[in-house]
Amino acid sequence: MKYDKFGPQKVVHVYNPKTNVKGFVVIDNTALGPGKGGIRMTPSVTPDEVFRLARTMTWKCALAELPFGGAKSGIVANDRELTLDRKEKIVREFSKELKNIVPEEYVAAPDMNMAGQEMKWFAEENGNMKACTGKPKEMGGIPHELGSTGLGVFHSGKIALEHMNRDMNDVTVAIEGFGNVGHFTAKFFEEAGANVVAASDSSGVIYNPEGLEYNKLKSTKDNQGAVTKHPSGKVLDNPKIFELDVDLLIPAAIPNVITSKNVDNVKADLIVEGANLPIPPGIEKKLHEKNVLVVPDFVANAGGVISSYVEYKGGDADEMFEMVPRKIEKNTQLVLERSERTGNYPRKEALEIAQERVLEKCDFCGED
């Protein structure tokens, strides 16, 4: 975990030997407001991973001009091996241990293997509806299942295509990860006229240069559990999606998917990051040098935290569907125009904008 002038301000380790509940919270920076960030539950989650995600949230909230800082948390558990009762006990126990920092310093949300039900348990255990966002609708929540992140990724991509003077109707799209972010992103791009030709999940890649038809692909995924069961298309191994001859590539699943090993095989000239940290910054810079435009994660996928802000302040889904496109489009355009003006790759410019906004309000940030 790297400490610098921005933080992290606080790292909380949770361990209850009686219940064997293990986890941690990283509150990176609260200059703009309480640290905002989801809880992920995986057997391999580490404090370092959570710190990197918390730092991303610091920049994401600053760039989206939200009154939140950056934070993130992790629970060490294998969701696939848990009964519902055991999972509830773990989430409630974890929540109980955070009562002294929630919601004044930390506001939780869903992340990997966490959703509305888990946020319901978290809020109930804290006795405070502002303890987390992403709660069920009956608790005043705006569930992430409405597609706020995918909506933002689409609007970021739309602005990037306009910046490149590209016609949406002539664009081919490949989406890595057909989960909550990816399938909504596919839906919005198809509705706008783009041709989604490839999608992937843990089963592999389905590729059809003629197009996949969102409704059929979503039905296949829902009913048969795998995009590779789609009746029309060629099945490829997962890494091949990054090498397809498409205009727009959207990594929307896991970190570090484009690296030094495959960067030279990327053929898309636009990448919009739906996932967090899908490409190391050094590789983004190399892509920029090859005239590949990369819209960074904390610019493109901020729809989820914008939705969280709307919920946090008591708004509804209609307000979310208005605010996400407006903020995402504004900030994508700001970053791309500044990048074009300076010649620097977009992440560098986006990071400088976010840092400027944090430092303006930060009375505890140190010197370089």
Per-residue pLDDT tens digits for 306-334: 999 999 999 999 999 999 999 999 999 99
Q: DSSP assignment, residue 244?
A: S
Per-residue pLDDT tens digits for 210-256: 999 999 999 999 999 999 999 999 999 999 999 999 999 999 998 89
Q: 148, 120, 137, 141: which is closest to 312 by C-alpha?
A: 141
Residues 6+ apart with CB under 8 A from 274: 149, 150, 153, 175, 177, 181, 182, 185, 250, 251, 252, 297, 300, 301
Is 22 known to be catalytic?
A: no
Q: What is the pLDDT along the chain (368 residues), one digit of tens a residue?
A: 889 999 999 999 999 998 899 999 999 999 999 999 999 999 999 999 999 999 999 999 999 999 999 999 999 999 999 999 999 999 999 999 999 999 999 999 999 899 999 999 999 999 999 999 999 999 999 987 789 999 999 999 999 999 999 999 999 999 999 998 999 999 999 999 999 999 999 999 999 999 999 999 999 999 999 999 999 999 999 999 999 999 999 999 988 999 999 999 999 999 999 998 899 999 999 999 999 999 999 999 999 999 999 999 999 999 999 999 999 999 999 999 999 999 999 999 999 999 999 999 999 998 76
CA dihedral 337, 339, 345, 347 (to 10 degrees): -70
What does the chain come to in residues?
368
Whether 148-303+332-352 and 10-141 are alike in CATH topology: the answer is yes
CB 149 within 8 A of CB 299: no
Phi-psi region of 225 (alpha: psi -120 to 50; beta: other; left: phi over 0): left
DSSP-based three-state secondary structure for 11: strand
Instruction: Output the CATH code of domain 10-141.
Output: 3.40.50.10860
Fold assignment, 148-303+332-352? Rossmann fold (3.40.50)
Catalytic residue among 36, 60, 72, 286: 72
Q: Which tokens go with 178? A: 């057909």
**Sequence ranges of the domains in the chain:** 10-141, 148-303+332-352
Element housing 270 (H / E): strand 270-272
Q: 68, 54, 3: which is closest to 311 by C-alpha?
A: 68
Residue 367 has a pLDDT of 75
